Structure 1
Amino acid sequence: MQLTKLVYVLPLFTAVLAVAVPEAEPGTRVTSNKLSALDKRGGEVEKRQCNPNGCKCANGAAGVYCGWCAGVLNPGTGGSWSDVFQCNGSGGCCRYGPRDSCASWQSFSPCG
């Protein structure tokens, strides 16, 4: 019967699937917050609160944006174009603060 071959193949499939799922590096904490990350020295960056600072976004541009993105119209008081902003659909926003991926106006991310 063909079912006897399954006994030999099943451990192979299990081993392949176990290798295909990457695990986090030891000492890192997995979080669901998009703005939580590791800094360049390997230490964890704390989750940041989004602070309203008078920044303005385009109407309908709901999402997380770097200041260089077209969705952010004004970085607000104390804000910088290299900061991360959370925009709502009606033009309001709040500022998370600086982010390495937003620092360069030539290659910034995220936009939306």
Structure 2
Amino acid sequence: MQLSKVAFFLPLIASTFAVAVPDAGLKEAAVLQAKRNDFEKRQNCVPNGCKCNPVPQGQYCGWCSAVTNPGNGGSWSDVFECNPSGGCCRYGPRSSCNVWPNFSPCGP
């Protein structure tokens, strides 16, 4: 008699565990989507003829000494991606680049 009760409740218990597993998957999917969105933001760096001194790869405000020319349509209050060979692309304006003399970012 007792075994029939276990057999009756076993599917209920198994389905409870099965329902709990996708929640972890949803959280993981949300983290992956956030990383993907962050990557897409970084992909919006537009080459505009800007120039940098040879510096470590990273993001620099136009006011940083690394940026020597903001390029076409660029502004000193924009954020630029500079690389060790002096290459550059422009992300666009950032409010933290307008705060003189504490503008940021200025490198990696």
TM-score under structure 2 length normalisation: 0.59
CA RMSD after TM alignment: 2.1
Q: Which residue is equivalent to 2:62?
A: 67
Q: 1:78 to 1:60 in 2, by over 3 A?
A: same
- 1:99 to 2:102 alignment: no
Q: Determine which structure has more spread, i.e. the larger CA radius of gyration.
A: 2
Q: 1:31 to 1:103 in 2, by over 3 A?
A: farther
Q: 1:69 to 1:31 in 2, by over 3 A?
A: farther
Residue type of the partner of 1:111? C
Tell me the CA shift for residue 111 of structure 1: 0.4
Identify the range of structure 1 (95-104 vs 58-67) with the bigger mean alpha-carbon deviation: 58-67
5+ long unaligned stretches in structure 2? 1-32
Q: 1:56 to 1:47 in 2, by over 3 A?
A: same
Equivalent pairs counted in the alignment come to: 72
TM-score under structure 1 length normalisation: 0.57
5+ long unaligned stretches in structure 1? 1-29, 35-45
Contact 1:61 1:91 in 2 (8 A): no
Identity within the alignment, %: 67
Identify the range of structure 1 (78-87 vs 56-65) with the bigger mean alpha-carbon deviation: 56-65
Give the ranges of 4+ consecutive aligned residues of structure 1 lying more than 3 Å apart after TM superposition. none
Contact 1:57 1:73 in 2 (8 A): yes
